[in-house]
Structure 1
């Protein structure tokens, strides 16, 4: 599991990104379970995620951050990153970010992709 913390901080909200290999729904569930074993991730406001399977099947979860899973999925498609889950975590800071939240999700995914070996 690759984790990058404190990728973005804006108006009190903080973002992190995590990811790793996941080829099917069971591996996605196992990854999310492992991530949330860390108390701070379990208590995060949102753990949005997406993965693109090698056969083209798309999976995503917004976890209350409407549309964020789709943003991650589109970026994975552009990079052709398959059988890999990417999770963007947000700890809400008390102020609505509007459309900026999608820009922050993109920043997190780009940081993750750049950190891949």
Structure 2
């Protein structure tokens, strides 16, 4: 599991991004379970995620951050990154971010993809 913490901070909200290889829906569930073994991630406000599997299955989860899973999924599709999942974690800071929250999700995924390539 690859993790980048402190990727974005805005109005008290903090973001991190994690990811790793998955090939089945069961792998996705195991990945999320493993991530949430860390109490910091288990207590996060949102753990939004997406995975594009090589069998053509596209799956996502918003975890209360409506639309965020689709943002991650679209970025995976553009990169043609299959059998890999990305989770963007947000700890809510007390102020609503409006549409900026989607830009922050994109920034986190971009940072993860850049780190993956390096």
TM-score band (shorter)? over 0.9
Q: CA deviation at 1:56?
A: 1.6
Equivalence for 1:114: 114
Which runs of at least 4 in structure 1 moved beyond 2 Å after TM superposition? none
Whole-angstrom CA distance in 2 between matches of 1:22 and 1:94: 33
* Structure 1 runs not aligned, ≥5 long: none
Whole-angstrom CA distance in 2 between matches of 1:14 and 1:6: 7
TM-score (norm 1): 0.99
Q: CA deviation at 1:55?
A: 1.8
Provide, for residues 3-54 of structure 1, a one-character-per-residue CA deviation record: whole Å limited to 9, x for no partner: 0000000000000000000111100000000000000000000000000000
Whole-angstrom CA distance in 1 between matches of 2:46 and 2:35: 12
Whole-angstrom CA distance in 2 between matches of 1:99 and 1:23: 32
Whole-angstrom CA distance in 2 between matches of 1:91 and 1:23: 28
Equivalence for 1:68: 68
CA RMSD of aligned residues (A): 0.5
* Structure 2 runs not aligned, ≥5 long: none
Classify the secondary structure of the residue corresponding to 2:106. helix
Whole-angstrom CA distance in 2 between matches of 1:24 and 1:94: 36
* Number of matched pairs: 117
